[in-house]
Structure 1
Amino acid sequence: MKKILLPTDFSDQATYALKVAASLAKQNDATIYLMHMLELPTHFLSGDTNLDVPEQLLFMKIAHERFEKTLEQDFLKDIKIEVNVETHKAFDGITEAIRQYDIDLVVMGSSGASGLKEMFIGSNTEKVVRTSDVPVLVIKNDIENFNIENFVFASDFTNDQKLVFEQALDFANSFNATLHLLFVNTPNRFVTTAAAEKKMKDFIADFDELTKYELHVYNDDTIERGILNFSRTIDADLIGMSTHGRQGLAHFFNGSISEDLVNHALRPVITFRI
């Protein structure tokens, strides 16, 4: 993990995420790519050559002044940081930056979304979680010391999850964390405990580097509630799972458990795209 992308709107949540990114950067000798999507009026982005250039420069000046204040914070001392101000729409700019800088991990702050906003609009964080080809770590709260001891990885433990699990395992091992492998049983997707445990044991059989782990089968009304409730019982430091990147009508009707978790979990959530 050598390149960490941190999109910021200079909010409190973005600062919480930056603290976590700084901790990861120190641990891995990584560079943080700190990026702000400049919210210019629509006519600035139209390509019109008759724009008021001084007004455009003022927006840029304000953004750079906010960056200067951000970089003065003590927790960023001795960390390699690349600062960039872009005029893309936020989501487009983030996806482009992932490709351009060959990013290993995206860290984003989020205040979550609910109700109609969650269903019809969604947040940029939710969109990035859905589409990013690299892991996305979402932070909601101020974490003084980002140290992962208990990492919940929720899955159905099918073969298509194995590449995702390799990434989760690498992340857990970088902290020497205990990986809690979680299978959530629901009324409409019920299997016996014995069958679930066998499925999990078969799944991990080829992962020799998996040494600190526990297997859990948890019953709840929904998968999302099961993940959240189980994570609370063990006071998990991090929740991880895969996302299928559903879009369009498939996403609208089927939803995405990972995106629901990003919106509703107070704990850090990391997603890995299949």
Structure 2
Amino acid sequence: MISQAKHILLPTDFSECSKNALNHAALLADKFGARITLLNVIDPPFNFPTNVDGVIDYLQENAEQHLERLIEHVDEQYPKRTFKLKHQIRIGKPISQILEAISDLNIDLVVLGSAMDAPTRKVLFGSVSTDVILRSTKPVLAVPEGVKHVGFEKILFTTNFRHKDLRNLEHLAEFAKLFNSEIHVLHVTDKEDLETDIKFRGMKELVKEKKIYKKIDFELKTSDDAFIGISEYVNDNDISMMVMNRYIKSVIGLLLDKNYAKKMSIYSTVPLLVLIGE
């Protein structure tokens, strides 16, 4: 359950984007009573023309200095912080090292930055964040570059009525209680039909019967493109965080499917929390 997370992993490349993600991680750690591990991964420059070991030693020293400055930044933002903050440097490919760290360190939540160069729409750190989203065994909070507000006043929970969606909504409600957040449950469909209406009404009634949380609203929206429908809802309702459910698919399914969770992590203007479905 995300509201009971006790160990947060924050992969960092020392960019402003990952520094912004650290601000979100610090808020969560302060509220959860969790600890944070900062992780920097050094990708070995095997094609470097000089001594590789010497280069790696230099990169490690440089990373240590950057990590210490990040800790100083958190100390300035949270002078009375009670959560612990440690750091770790690993050598290898970023995605593999992040996934190994999630397992090795018994991580409960991953918080990372997702950046994009606006003029070219070239994915920068976002390529790592989307890989982590698709492969992590734990929830991932991706914080887009440029998000300045740190808060969770209005949370959007998207659903396709999969059987684990209700469980994840219950977990999200516990999170929302900590921040007194509103939860907006949204289903986007390309056409309104009886089956969709029955599922939507059924989920709404079930949530009401279970008394999961008082501040929950439900919305059924029609759009030819789910991504566009979700984006419009985010903009129209001043959403501060989106939540999507990731379901395990076959390799070919990942290659062929649009995969909206991946798409949203790249183009989103608000933080995206991806929960594990099945």
Q: Could you tell me which residue of structure 2 aligns to residue 228 of structure 1?
A: 231
2:59 maps to 1:55 = no
> How many equivalent residue pairs?
265
Matches of 1:83 and 1:245, distance apart in 2: 31
Q: Could you tell me which residue of structure 2 aligns to residue 30 of structure 1?
A: 34
Q: Could you tell me which residue of structure 2 aligns to residue 257 of structure 1?
A: 260
Secondary structure of the structure 2 residue equivalent to 1:157: coil
Compute the TM-score of the two structures, normalised by the length of structure 2: 0.86
2:165 maps to 1:161 = yes
Matches of 2:144 and 2:164, distance apart in 1: 29
Identify if the C-alpha distance between structure 1 residues 96 and 207 changes in structure 2 by more than 3 Å, giving closer, same or farther.
farther
Q: Could you tell me which residue of structure 1 aligns to residue 22 of structure 2?
A: 18
Which 5+ residue runs of structure 1 have no aligned equivalent? 45-50
Q: Could you tell me which residue of structure 2 aligns to residue 191 of structure 1?
A: 193
Counterpart pick for 1:108 among 105, 109, 112:
112
Partner letter of residue 71 of structure 2? L
Matches of 2:174 and 2:98, distance apart in 1: 24
Matches of 2:210 and 2:86, distance apart in 1: 36
Secondary structure of the structure 2 residue equivalent to 1:147: coil
Counterpart pick for 1:215 among 199, 215, 218:
218
Matches of 1:226 and 1:123, distance apart in 2: 24
Secondary structure of the structure 1 residue equivalent to 2:89: strand
CA RMSD in angstroms comes to 2.6
Identify if the C-alpha distance between structure 1 residues 166 and 71 changes in structure 2 by more than 3 Å, giving closer, same or farther.
same
Q: How much has 1:206 moved relative to structure 2? A: 5.7
Secondary structure of the structure 1 residue equivalent to 2:54: helix
2:65 maps to 1:65 = yes
Which 5+ residue runs of structure 2 have no aligned equivalent? none
Partner letter of residue 225 of structure 1? I
Q: Could you tell me which residue of structure 2 aligns to residue 48 of structure 1?
A: none
Greater mean deviation of Cα atoms: 158-167 or 231-240: 158-167
Matches of 2:78 and 2:63, distance apart in 1: 18
Q: How much has 1:226 moved relative to structure 2? A: 1.0
Compute the TM-score of the two structures, normalised by the length of structure 1: 0.87
